[in-house]
Structure 1
Amino acid sequence: MKNTKGKKITIIISIIILILVIATFSGYYYVKSQLEPRNEASTEKIVVEIPAGSSISDISTILEDKKVINNASIFSFYVKYNNDTNLKAGNYEFSPAMNTDQIVKKMQEGKTIAPEKLVIPEGYTLDQIAERIVAYQPKLKKADVLSTMDNPDFIATMMDKYPDTVTSDVLNKDIKHPLEGYLYPATYTFKETDVPAETIIEEMVKATDVNIAKYRDELTKQKMSVHDFLTMSSIIEKEATENVDRKKIASVFYNRLEADMPLQTDPTVLYALGKHKSKTTYEDLKVDSPYNTYQNKGLPPGPISNSGDSSMEATLYPEKTDYLYFLANTKTGQVYFSKTLEEHNKLKEEHITKNN
């Protein structure tokens, strides 16, 4: 009886082991199949844009949505397991005939293609715009594009062609880049295959000139120069989040100027440092620069980025408030406004310090 019972247990264990072995092999072959091409015979070309800052999970999802890979979860796990995480952003041309290793290798080597359109987002600096231009026109070099942007002869030409917009204010000796803030955020297309940097940059200056036309009467009424207008709107652009009323932010800056208080806005400090940082330190606030609005009252010498219509509207039509302070919760995007330093510090402790 005992022997029969032992045999049954042995059989059960054997069956379980067999099931596990089958499951293991099935799982292995399933994963392997998901890493193979979606369609090895396909000749289709799929253009995919991988945005800067995309995580491996983001990239995997994009590739699956574009029908380049079979399974986003397996692709993500495979890339992380093999430590192939240094995938570069950009525009790529893939094919369903490519396997996972081929896709990963292409992205590691950064074998991108030029986008059909040149997209310049709001809040971009000249440095970031130069990177976009080079991606659009790979034959150009970033250093040469930046050099063109700062070229005195080119700037003089812009001043002659667009005198109502590009004025002598851009020649202030304290300005880092004369055309900073003057390259309008928009989507640009050019018919030519090889477009010179001068042509691209001028098209952006022209777009700014055209866009500002609708504000000229109000600028005259408020006795505000185009340069100050673009400077203030650039600060609002860099400070604003999707969840905040830019006109309310504008009111804080104008109230501080009226009270002869420094603007104390972090984006101007980061611009002075020439760095992209998620958090500004107390040491950063000590940087010796005319752009440092913690050390200098009034507006900085010039814009710190380009700006879109929402920030321009806020610059000309700020909300009427008594606020002198605001802070943003970087995790939620929520912005909190206050009238006194005491109230500001309380909000900071409640929404910022405790959450870090």
Structure 2
Amino acid sequence: MFLNEFIEFCQIYSIIGEVKGVAHVSNKKKLKEKHKLKMEENKQEASLVRKIVLIFFMSIIVIGIIAVFVGYRYIIGSIGPVDENDENVIEVTIPIGSNTSTIADVLEEAGVINSATVFTYYVRFQNESGFQAGEYHLTRSMSMEEIIDQLKEGRVFEDYAISFTIPEGLWVEDVFERVASETDLEQDELLTLARDEDYLNELIENYDFLDESILDEAIREPLEGYLFPARYDFVNEELEPEEVIEAMLDRTSSVLASLPIENMDDTFHELMTKASIIEGEAITDEERTTISGVIENRLQAGMPLQMDPTIAYAHGEHLSRTLYEHLDIESPYNTYNVTGLMPGPINNPGEASISAALSPESHNYLYFYHSPEGDIYFNENLSEHEAIVSQYRD
């Protein structure tokens, strides 16, 4: 009995040992599999890190290549012409004592180079020097190298054979009288050419700011408003009438190109007509945009403009003062009788007046009055306006 129990105990103990052995082998196998999985995960992570690092460095290389390419294209573009198809002449003045940075700023502001910074570094890199002060006739089609050559070989102010200045607000007849007094040209030959329909049609083809409006039979002088007031310099002593007229039109083109005309609602002809009224009425630059606002308010209200400079132009004579008797003249330029704009400009306005016509001040004024002392008074209604006028006329 005892022996049987002992044998059974030994058998049970043996079985337990076998079970423990199997369990031990099983645990060891699991540990090995777990270790193997861990090694695989580490390999995958290491591979992923290597890929990320590779992509990062490749991205840096690609970005670097793109940056170099873009920089190269920018520099090449800056050195080349601003617009190789734009042959319009732009007059650029380089003041005496200007350094390279100042010259670069002047050229960029004039629109004949793309970048003042690139110009400055280019001049230093090329070791250029010897730039001369003076007035230069440049175009947007010129490369930076061509402009540098001009600045080195250009003429100073005193080297021009003919120079004359046209003030703002002159009529065409007066402009040509001023030109005739400074050149060998005759006022009549300039006027004849400026009224020649064939020549005018050529100009319309060549200048985008001119259109068929200037050929309207109601217009007294077709080019009125478009002969830009400025200083003009010519190298040759003998001038042709076309040379003078087209130099003035070129200047108008340059000025218009420098202004924000992209979104204007007016035609060029309407713009220059409004600008000529402002030029005729304004005494100071500060009041130009306010007067421009009065013009817009009157047009929108359907009121006659009632601008005195238009009366003088309708009479064809410069009036020291507009009287009631002057207001009866039958003329499309008489803005006391005609509603809306005149057929065309009444003088040749400067840049300040053109700019004011482009950007009229927003207000509710419908009237203004210049006192004999030169002060200007703006009013929203007729009674206030008449009260101001009566203070000076009584």
Contact 1:219 1:226 in 2 (8 A): no
Residue in 1 aligned with 2:70? Answer: none
Residue in 2 aligned with 1:345? Answer: 386
The change in CA–CA distance for 1:192 and 1:228 in structure 2 (over 3 A counts) is: same
Residue in 2 aligned with 1:158? Answer: 203
Whose helix proportion is higher, 1 or 2? 2
Match of 1:189, SS state, is strand
Question: What is the rounded CA distance, in whole Å, between the counterparts of 1:183 and 1:343 in structure 2?
Answer: 38
Residue in 1 aligned with 2:129? Answer: none
Runs of 4+ with >6 A deviation: none
Alpha-carbon offset, residue 243 of structure 1: 6.9
Question: What is the rounded CA distance, in whole Å, between the counterparts of 2:293 and 2:265 in structure 1?
Answer: 18
Residue in 1 aligned with 2:238? Answer: 194
1:133 aligns with 2:179: yes
Per-residue CA deviations over 1:194-224 (Å, capped at 9, x if unaligned) read: 1111110111011111211133xx4442321
The one-letter code matched in structure 1 to 2:289 is K
The one-letter code matched in structure 1 to 2:332 is P
Residue in 2 aligned with 1:183? Answer: 227
Which of 247, 259, 272 does residue 301 from structure 2 map onto? 259
The one-letter code matched in structure 2 to 1:341 is L
1:168 aligns with 2:212: yes
Question: What is the rounded CA distance, in whole Å, between the counterparts of 2:340 and 2:169 in structure 1?
Answer: 21
1:302 aligns with 2:344: yes
Contact 1:243 1:335 in 2 (8 A): no
1:288 aligns with 2:324: no
Which of 305, 313, 334 does residue 375 from structure 2 map onto? 334
Match of 1:221, SS state, is coil
Q: How big is the alpha-carbon RMSD for the aligned residues of Structure 1 and Structure 2?
A: 1.6
Question: What is the rounded CA distance, in whole Å, between the counterparts of 2:285 and 2:390 in structure 1?
Answer: 21
Question: What is the rounded CA distance, in whole Å, between the counterparts of 1:225 and 1:294 in structure 2?
Answer: 23
Contact 2:293 2:365 in 1 (8 A): yes
Per-residue CA deviations over 1:125-179 (Å, capped at 9, x if unaligned) read: 1011011110111x322222211111112211211211x1111111112111110
Contact 1:244 1:335 in 2 (8 A): no
Contact 1:243 1:333 in 2 (8 A): no
Alpha-carbon offset, residue 282 of structure 1: 1.0
Alpha-carbon offset, residue 276 of structure 1: 0.5
Per-residue CA deviations over 1:75-109 (Å, capped at 9, x if unaligned) read: xxxxxxxxxxxxxxxxxxxxxxxxxxxxxxxxxxx
Which of 354, 360, 364 does residue 318 from structure 1 map onto? 360
Task: After TM superposition, list the pairs within 5 Å mapping 1:200-279 onto structure 2.
Answer: 200-215=244-259, 218-242=260-284, 244-279=286-321
1:143 aligns with 2:188: yes
Give the share of equivalent positions with the same residue, in percent. Answer: 38
The one-letter code matched in structure 1 to 2:393 is T
The change in CA–CA distance for 1:243 and 1:318 in structure 2 (over 3 A counts) is: closer
Question: What is the rounded CA distance, in whole Å, between the counterparts of 2:177 and 2:358 in structure 1?
Answer: 31
Match of 1:283, SS state, is helix
Residue in 2 aligned with 1:36? Answer: none
Question: What is the rounded CA distance, in whole Å, between the counterparts of 2:180 and 2:347 in structure 1?
Answer: 18
Largest Rg, 1 or 2: 2
Alpha-carbon offset, residue 272 of structure 1: 0.9
Contact 1:242 1:333 in 2 (8 A): no
Question: What is the rounded CA distance, in whole Å, between the counterparts of 2:273 and 2:377 in structure 1?
Answer: 23
TM-score, normalization: structure 1?
Answer: 0.64
- Figure out how many residues of one structure are paired with residues of the other and give that number: 235
Match of 1:118, SS state, is strand
Unpaired runs of at least 5, structure 1 = 1-114
